[in-house]
């Protein structure tokens, strides 16, 4: 959102400069209403180890617009980010995901769920405490929630971001660094952040089997992450050859259409049951009541 004051002090809306065309504003209003009406859905994509074990699920938001059909998340998330609607969206996603985790746990399915959060969220005062309160309300142990952040959180106010992440980590929430390789993170930044997982961006994974440079980048990233004690997840694995290469490079887990695309909750339940996820695992103890 950008506005300019004219000589009378009235804010003049500048459509050209920030790309807030009437079309975007229309979508923004529709999204706000869809969230209010709980007309936005979460789908879940499995994160799977190279031994076939399901290590988690990633919640991905899905919005079916009445006239336009499905709007890609990248598109409406950018709109939410630049408009102040982001906290509302994140609250909705966290609430929906935690209710789902609680339901799965009650049904004997113990699988951690990752939620994507935007840099905006990380810079919202009180965010860590709000997440902790939400976990407690749903009686979900913090270890069952993972937050996926991108290195962009460090761009605006690195100290504030580091404080929030430290707060979350102190509450026992695990953090994952998403889209790694697309930003400007250095080793130094990585070491400062309390992340336990690094996700290699799909753009590197996609050409891993055909491009030597990309293969080298992926190899170095995996080794670097391991030397820092991080688990590595490869995004967007679509074919067997890429899967095999990643396994040979000691990658820890993968996500991609090769194994499963994001699915609605019910379908995810069936998918997990078919894999007997959680069936053999003991129920983790709930934290003691305060």
Contacts of range 12-20, beta carbons closer than 8 Å, 24 or more positions apart: 18/82, 20/82
- 151 lines the binding site for Mg ion (CB under 5 A): no
One symbol per residue from 57 to 96: x for binding Mg ion (CB under 5 A), - otherwise; what is it?
Answer: ----------------------------------------
Q: Which residue is nearest to ligand C2E (CB)?
A: 256
Q: Pick from ligand C2E, Mg ion, none: which does 72 bind, CB < 5 to 8 A by kind?
A: ligand C2E
Q: Which residues pair with 174 in a beta bridge?
A: 146
Of 56, 52, 55, which Cα lies nearest the Cα of 247? Answer: 52
Report the residue from 178, 222, 256, 260 that binds Mg ion according to the rule CB under 5 A: 178
Q: Pick from Mg ion, ligand C2E, none: which does 118 bind, CB < 5 to 8 A by kind?
A: ligand C2E
SS (H, E, C) 141-195: CHHHEEEEECCCHHHHCHHHHHHHHHHHHHCCCEEEEEEECCCCCCHHHHHHCCC
Least gap, CB of 203 to ligand C2E (angstroms):
10
Least gap, CB of 233 to ligand C2E (angstroms):
10
Least gap, CB of 283 to ligand C2E (angstroms):
28
- 148 lines the binding site for Mg ion (CB under 5 A): yes
- 197 lines the binding site for Mg ion (CB under 5 A): no
Residues near ligand C2E (CB under 6 A) are: 45, 60-61, 72-74, 77, 93, 116-118, 148, 178-179, 202, 235-238, 255-257, 262
Stretch of residues binding Mg ion (CB under 5 A), selected from 61-69, 93-101, 173-181, 245-253: 173-181
Q: Pick from Mg ion, ligand C2E, none: which does 73 bind, CB < 5 to 8 A by kind?
A: ligand C2E
Least gap, CB of 256 to Mg ion (angstroms):
11
Least gap, CB of 259 to ligand C2E (angstroms):
9
Report the residue from 30, 121, 151, 179 that binds Mg ion according to the rule CB under 5 A: 179
Applying the rule CB under 5 A, the residues between 94 and 123 that interact with Mg ion are 116
Q: Pick from ligand C2E, Mg ion, none: which does 255 bind, CB < 5 to 8 A by kind?
A: ligand C2E
Of 198, 268, 209, 205, which Cα lies nearest the Cα of 236? Answer: 205
* Tokens at 116, concatenated: 């994507």
The residue ranges that bind Mg ion (CB under 5 A) are 116, 148, 178-179, 235
């Amino acid at each position: 959102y950008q506005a300019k004051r004219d000589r009378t002090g009235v804010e003049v809306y500048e459509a050209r400069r920030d790309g807030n065309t009437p079309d975007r504003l229309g979508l923004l209003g529709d999204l706000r209403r869809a969230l209010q009406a709980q007309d936005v859905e979460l789908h879940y994509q499995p994160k799977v180890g190279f031994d076939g074990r399901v290590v988690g699920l990633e919640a991905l938001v899905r919005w079916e617009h009445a006239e336009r059909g499905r709007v890609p998340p990248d598109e409406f998330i950018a709109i939410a980010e630049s408009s102040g609607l982001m906290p509302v969206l994140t609250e909705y996603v966290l609430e929906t995901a935690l209710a789902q985790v609680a339901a799965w746990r009650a049904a004997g399915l113990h699988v951690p769920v990752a939620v994507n959060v935007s840099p905006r969220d990380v810079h919202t005062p009180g965010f860590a405490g709000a997440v902790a309160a939400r976990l407690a309300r749903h009686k979900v142990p913090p270890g069952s929630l993972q937050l996926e952040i991108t290195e962009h959180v460090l761009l605006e106010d690195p100290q504030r971001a580091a404080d929030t992440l430290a707060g979350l980590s102190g509450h026992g929430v695990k953090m994952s660094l998403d889209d790694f390789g697309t930003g400007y993170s250095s080793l130094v930044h990585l070491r400062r952040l309390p992340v336990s997982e690094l996700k290699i961006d799909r753009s590197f994974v996609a050409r891993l089997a055909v491009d030597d440079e990309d293969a080298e980048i992926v190899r170095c990233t995996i080794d670097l992450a391991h030397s820092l004690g991080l688990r590595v997840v490869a995004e967007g694995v679509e074919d067997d050859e890429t899967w095999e290469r990643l396994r040979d490079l000691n990658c820890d887990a993968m996500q991609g259409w090769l194994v499963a695309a994001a699915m609605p909750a019910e379908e995810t339940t069936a998918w997990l049951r078919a894999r007997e996820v959680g069936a053999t695992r003991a129920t983790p103890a709930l934290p003691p009541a305060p």
